[in-house]
Structure 1
């Protein structure tokens, strides 16, 4: 048996106290006609609604744990969450010293349109509060990160299928940012970042609207 590692003080790694490691995922989307929303799951034991998350198993990678929690607890597969931030306040979780590696995924509503309502649901980010284990802080961080990315680029997370009209693009940005945007100002900011597809959308009376794709 190989000699176990010891540091300069003669201690082994197992001699130091260690936190439990969890992954928690904020999955954000914009339902049809709605505002920015987050995926919640119903805890099988306590019956409350929270972010999908789990403790990391021995020998398991963080990405695998995140996907496992989404599949097992939300019934959702095919997502690709990425690491968002590490929440390491020792007092953040009332179960004990739990370090959370938070993940984020931003997906079109169609990817979450068939949720089992007894298992998972979508709620507005404005009302997703009072969650256990510091999940409110994770949602707030995820929303702030997403909104920052939508400040200067046209739908960078692909919530809207291409091609789209300027009006459709503005509505998605309004949903993500949680505020009304001036149509003329928004158009001037976005046009240099879009490509005219040459197609038009007839959405009622008036001149057909130009359809764009991201440059």
Structure 2
């Protein structure tokens, strides 16, 4: 994956269907522009329709905000990308309105540090952390009320854990995946990740659709 120089934590894709990587270390490290909260190698995925859209376009997508329910990824089942034990979950954060409009995004950016000060719930939203050996994998921005696992549960690859949502620091429904060396993202370091596919393909670069 481009900028990666260290062996990655190999995962399975936590979803099925047509998706695209929006932010990833395939383009730059840190992938989210910061090492804060162990996001050094984090990847954001969005679901696409056959025309390559995350949701139908309308005047609202150009000038205003949109309901998260219109996005293809909203409510899609999320699957465990590894076998291990659930060590942390968080639910109860609302799925807020989505923003694709440059005007809405600019206003949202002004409140970024407010969310950082709000802690894990304000940033990751509803989320799950799964431990495998000494590695920890976080899936964030889940739909409120969708979590079906709790700390102490053992999961295997493909176990349903919840659904894609728009909670936390999220401008539209998407799946945020990151690997860490500790369960607490405020003190952990991010670890590189790779994804295994039956055909042995590597993750496409940002903006390239793929079928999981």
- Same topology, TM > 0.5: no
Alignment TM class, shorter chain as reference: under 0.3
Higher relative contact order (CA 8 A, sep 6+): 2
TM-score (ref. length: structure 2): 0.20
- Point out the structure with max Rg over C-alpha: 1
